[in-house]
Amino acid sequence: MNTYKEKLFKALTYTASLFVIIFLFGIIYSIFREGLPILKVVKLQDFIFGSAWYPTHEIPEFGIWTLIIGSVYVTLGALVVALPLGLGSAVYISEVASPRMREIAKPIIELLAAIPSVIYGLFGMAFLAPAVRQWFNLPTGLNVFTSSIILGIMVIPIIASMSEDALSTVPKALRESSLALGATKWETIVRVVVPAAKRGIIGSTLIGFGRAIGETMVVLMVAGGSAKIPSSIFHSTRPMTSAIAAEMGETVVGDLHYQSLFAIAIVLFLITFATNIFTEIVFLKRSAR
Amino acid sequence: MVTNQIQTLKLNLWFGNNHVLHDVSMGVTEKKITAMIGPSGCGKSTLLRTFNRMNDLIDETRISGKVLLDGEDIYRSKADVTNLRTRVGMVFQKPNPFPKSIFNNVAFGMAVQGKFNRSQIEDRVEKSLRDAWLWDEVKDRLNESAMSLSGGQQQRLCIARALANNPEVLLLDEPTSALDPQSTSKIEELCLELKNMVTILIVTHNIAQAGRISDYIAFMYLGELVEFGETNKVFTVPQDKRTEAYLTGVFG
């Protein structure tokens, strides 16, 4: 009886995890199946590096370089916002805050991650963008700058939480020996604790990168959507994710535009997939020490 | 009469409501080795850590009485704690080099002080590594990670790191308890050499070790300094029954 139950339990959990794997490979398979045929019409290098994205023109052009640059700009901008704030709060929580304060502050920062992205988008659209337009006297506040800030706020909890974990695993003995050598608390943090946690901190930043580059709703609502390479952070842009989300509804199943959007999805998937694998292997693997 | 380099006067210490040190009055002679022994939890490590104010790091530490270093109370209200810690170096139980290069480990204290130029730092790093008997083993790989050293080498690196601040006093908190016998005896011999340049206080669980290297013994029990005196006298004719019992292995 017992062994029968155990076998059943084993089979059920096995099936559950099998489904997860089937979904993963199913999704990968379908984006490749729908997206790859575009390469019969457009050469790979023209697709990636071509900077004319006119998918609906009479003679359509499918160069996604502007979209890639759009994604890269808002993502790097987000990290410029999120890294100092995320690492700063991680250091505060791990090194400075009293145990009581730590118990309050960490869940609050992690709560940022619980806000649905459409709410970030709404906030950016309704409050930040008009303010940015006014402050800098711009034609529109929907641009790289505004989306970087909003995306950055979204990424803060990832960097803060993972960096805090990394900082708090630095052995107390290292802090003590630094202090015992006459270093102040601040010098100890800057010269010993943060360097000792740097792998985890870099790892958290890369995970944040993957999160920001894949984020769709915020950039759809706040980045402005123009498919030109922005020459200033106050120009609007169209990242890969918003191109896919905004344009999919206009396509006919199986046409070139449809295929090209799937091909963008492949590029996006490869970027996030590579980032995650690389990060896991290089920065986050639990070393023996 | 020789004045003591370190002198505690009626020193009491509490962690919260836990009264850890009771009226400890003890003098430490310059350029000698003083061993602090006693069973676990007797307060010997806590006493050691009052000499460089490491107990300050623990919340709710209270202290009464005085700790004098060269006649000055290190707990006076305007005392510069970081300066104190460059004058009183410390080596911990487990070797704990920073995950940095061998060179940067030894240079750390000087780099933090920020008042030395490159060649001064290089000279002092070499001298400290020589003084810690590590130079010949590491001189060709100063830029390698300190983590690549063996446990005994790491502990000597930690000693070199402390020596690089030119301390007057070196506090050793069970420095050999995580080491093999060979590394242990090397560090014991090193201590005997180092006492020519620096006053050494060593906490040890190893009574034989205390006997081999120390000039003075402080025996602590339940937060009290039960007996203090020259090592050979304490070992041959202990004045207190508790000391005798501990030394003969009745408890510990």
Rounded to a whole number of angstroms, the distance from the CA of A199 to the nearest CA of chain B is 12
Closest Cα in chain A to B51? A180
Long-range contacts of B8-12 (CB under 8 A, 24+ apart): B8/B47, B8/B50, B8/B65, B8/B66, B8/B67, B8/B68, B9/B65, B9/B66, B9/B67, B9/B68, B10/B64, B10/B65, B10/B66, B11/B47, B11/B50, B11/B63, B11/B64, B11/B65, B11/B66, B11/B67, B12/B63, B12/B64, B12/B65
Tell me whether residues B82 and A183 touch, CB distance under 8 A: yes
| pLDDT value for A12 | 94
Query: Could you read off the pLDDT of B189-246 as tens digits, one per residue?
Result: 999 999 999 999 999 999 999 999 999 999 999 999 999 999 999 999 999 999 999 9
Q: Which of A173, A182, A183 sits opposite B96 (nearest CB)?
A: A173
Tell me whether residues A181 and B83 touch, CB distance under 8 A: no
Q: Which of A180, A187, A196 sits opposite B99 (nearest CB)?
A: A196
Q: Is A101 on the interface with B (CB under 8 A)?
A: no
Mean pLDDT (whole number) for B137-160: 96
A45 φ/ψ angles, rounded to the nearest 5 degrees: -70, -30
Alpha-carbon gap, residue B184 to B208, rounded angstroms: 12
Length of chain A counted residue by residue: 289
Site from B49, B82, B116, B169 to mutate, A interface, most A CB atoms within 10 angstroms: B82
Q: Is A173 on the interface with B (CB under 8 A)?
A: yes
Tell me whether residues B96 and A177 touch, CB distance under 8 A: yes
Residues of B in contact with A184 (CB under 8 A): 82, 112
| pLDDT value for B252 | 65
* CATH of the structural domain B6-95+168-247, one choice from 3.30.420.40, 3.40.50.920, 3.40.50.1820, 3.40.50.300: 3.40.50.300
Rounded to a whole number of angstroms, the distance from the CA of A192 to the nearest CA of chain B is 7
Tell me whether residues A181 and B92 touch, CB distance under 8 A: no
> Could you report how far apart the first and last alpha carbons of chain A are, in Å?
44
Alpha-carbon gap, residue A171 to A193, rounded angstroms: 9
| pLDDT value for B2 | 57
According to DSSP, the β-strands at A61-62 and B72-73 are: unpaired
Alpha-carbon gap, residue A240 to A242, rounded angstroms: 6
| pLDDT value for A287 | 47
Tell me whether residues A181 and B89 touch, CB distance under 8 A: yes
Mean pLDDT over each residue of chain B, to the nearest integer: 94
CB proximity under 8 Å: A 117-156 to B: none
| pLDDT value for A1 | 59
Q: Is A176 on the interface with B (CB under 8 A)?
A: yes
| pLDDT value for B131 | 96
Alpha-carbon gap, residue A169 to B75, rounded angstroms: 32
Rounded to a whole number of angstroms, the distance from the CA of B152 to the nearest CA of chain A is 17
pTM of this prediction? 0.86
Q: Is A195 on the interface with B (CB under 8 A)?
A: yes
| pLDDT value for B48 | 97
Site from A95, A177, A181 to mutate, B interface, most B CB atoms within 10 angstroms: A181
Rounded to a whole number of angstroms, the distance from the CA of A130 to the nearest CA of chain B is 47
State the ipTM, two decimals.
Answer: 0.92
Residues of A in contact with B162 (CB under 8 A): 180-181
Domain range summary for chain B, segments of one domain joined by +: 6-95+168-247
Q: Is A186 on the interface with B (CB under 8 A)?
A: no
| pLDDT value for A192 | 97
Are residues B33 and B200 in contact, defined by beta-carbon separation less than 8 angstroms?
yes
Q: Which of B86, B89, B92 sits opposite A176 (nearest CB)?
A: B92
CATH topology of domain A65-284: MetI-like fold (1.10.3720)
Q: Which of A181, A192, A196 sits opposite B85 (nearest CB)?
A: A181
Q: Give every residue of chain A whose pLDDT is below 70, as ranges.
A: 1, 286-289
Q: Which of the 8 DSSP states describes residue A115?
A: S
Residues in Cβ contact with B61 at an 8 Å cutoff, skipping those fewer than 6 apart: B13, B14, B15, B55
Alpha-carbon gap, residue B127 to B123, rounded angstroms: 6
Site from B48, B51, B87, B98 to mutate, A interface, most A CB atoms within 10 angstroms: B98
A-B C-beta contacts closer than 8 Å: 62
Domain range summary for chain A, segments of one domain joined by +: 2-47, 65-284
Q: Is A180 on the interface with B (CB under 8 A)?
A: yes
Mean pLDDT (whole number) for B160-173: 97
Rounded to a whole number of angstroms, the distance from the CA of A85 to the nearest CA of chain B is 26
Tell me whether residues B85 and A182 touch, CB distance under 8 A: yes
Query: Could you read off the pLDDT of B8-20 as tens digits, one per residue?
Result: 999 999 999 999 9
Alpha-carbon gap, residue B142 to B163, rounded angstroms: 17
Rounded to a whole number of angstroms, the distance from the CA of B26 to the nearest CA of chain A is 22
Closest Cα in chain A to B86? A182
Q: Is A8 on the interface with B (CB under 8 A)?
A: no
What pLDDT band is residue B3 in, cutting at 50, 70 and 90? confident
